[in-house]
Amino acid sequence: MSKMMKKVMALLCTASMSAAMLAGCSSGNENQTSKATEGAAKETTAAAGETTAETQKETAKAADNGEKKRIGISLVYKGDEWCAAVDQEFNKQAADFGYEVNIQDGNLDNETQVKQIENFITQQYDLIAVDPASPEGIIPALEKATQAGIPIVVFDSATTYEGIVSYVSWDSYETGTLIGEYLHGLIEKDHGGKANIAVLTMASPVNIADRIKGVKDALKDLDITYVAEQEYEGNREKAANIITNIKENIDFVVSGQDNGAWGAVSALQALNNTTTKCYSMGAYGTEPFDALKANDSNYQGTVAVSPSKLVKATYQVMDDYFAGKTDIPKVVNIDLDLVTTDNINEYLSK
């Protein structure tokens, strides 16, 4: 192993995070996408849909009795910073919305979440909210909830089950567009409209491809050379190896989520490269925010998904449901925040 690669590996050992921990949450939960419901559950029967509508109407009518509604919430995970913040926001905002909540940790395990939902059903909760670890595996439990007349709201990660009140998440294509438009300005201003870009992508899930498409569409009128577009499988070491092995000059690295960006940063630092700028399409927490506050020479920006906004939108869907509204959108996308070295302090002060 060369001295250079040993240096890369040493940096990775101190910086890497478990890809599995990110698998079910915002910046790392790669199931969420505004298009996730477009091909959802074609096998779901019309009869099941009719039953869902009937039971949800009955629940909505029964809700207006002056009692505090009991909400069972199954989080996909509580073990990373973003998911922990979502947990805190559900607890914090429950009082504002007047709900009694029971928040469970799914621990990235479908079987655990199935049991949690079954317990919510047994305890006759007024509504169940879930961020599923498995879009398909959770369906039998959701079907049981529907049969029991308990409405379901899904947030963050998508499911292919159609019998839900709404799915609250964010638009992955817009995520890419925000990064792409920002880079467009930089490339025009500082690079004469021409740049070399390395793209770190993932084959699954589909929302990563949506993010990459958003970037490319925003840059299509510029002279862009994509010197690499390779899969890093959510792994920092693989991302670092990709960047290390690129022979061409790289102006920008764009990653589908944060692990790829940090793998690239570690490789660039090992190469003493302070000119290549890295952008992540999904990050939240101490590591990215501290880097942006410090004006890191390589890590320059990300799209942040606000736990507060996600939870507020989820509770608002519940409010609308219990108010008997019939025009609740099947998909609710929250606003996103482009956070860079220029506006990080403003973002954190909100």
Q: What pLDDT digit, counting tens, does each position of 327-350 carry?
A: 999 999 999 999 999 999 999 998
Dist. CA 90–CA 314, nearest whole Å: 9
The pLDDT of residue 26 is 47
The pLDDT of residue 207 is 86
Q: Which amino acid is at 254?
A: V
Say if residues 138 and 161 touch (Cβ distance below 8 Å).
yes
Say if residues 234 and 244 touch (Cβ distance below 8 Å).
no
In order of 42, 141, 168, the CA distances from 37 in angstroms are: 10, 18, 11
Domains of the chain: 67-169+306-334 (3.40.50.2300), 170-303 (3.40.50.2300)
Dist. CA 160–CA 174, nearest whole Å: 22
The pLDDT of residue 47 is 41
> What six digits make up the tokens of 254?
């764009």
> What six digits make up the tokens of 40?
């959802």
Three-state SS at 205: coil
Contacts of 218 (CB under 8 A, 6+ apart): 176, 177, 179, 180, 181, 183, 184
- Mean pLDDT of successive 10-residue stretches along the chain, which has 350 residues: 44 41 45 42 42 50 69 95 96 98 97 99 99 95 99 96 98 97 98 99 84 98 98 96 98 96 98 98 95 98 97 99 98 98 95
Q: Which amino acid is at 310?
A: L
The pLDDT of residue 32 is 45
Q: Where are the alpha helices (DSSP H) in the chain?
A: 3-15, 19-22, 46-63, 81-97, 110-122, 139-147, 172-190, 206-219, 236-244, 258-270, 286-293, 307-322, 344-349
